[in-house]
């Protein structure tokens, strides 16, 4: 089972990986406005922040 800290660390790493970020666009409906920074913020605020456990002590996700 993954911890909150592991989820946060994984998301922070993905947020800095241009390959991961560029892989998302082809999965979206053509013409859909998408902002990776906003999406990451939403995931952090609505999902990761409610996970039990201590937050990751490393660099913050975008």
pLDDT, one tens digit per residue, over 18-53 is: 999 899 989 999 999 999 999 999 999 999 989 999
pLDDT at 61 over 50: no
pLDDT for the residue numbered 60: 56
pLDDT for the residue numbered 13: 94
- What are the CA-CA distances from residue 57 to residues 6, 21, 32, 34, 47 (Å)? 10, 23, 34, 28, 18
pLDDT for the residue numbered 59: 65
Write down the H helix ranges in 1-62. 4-15, 18-24, 36-46
pTM more than 0.85: no
């Amino acid at each position: 089972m993954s911890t909150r800290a592991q989820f946060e660390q994984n998301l922070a790493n993905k947020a800095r990986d241009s390959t991961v970020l560029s892989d998302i666009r082809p999965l979206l409906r053509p013409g859909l406005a998408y902002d990776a920074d906003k999406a990451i913020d939403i995931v952090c605020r609505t999902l990761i922040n409610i996970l039990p456990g201590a937050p990751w002590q490393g660099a913050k996700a975008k």
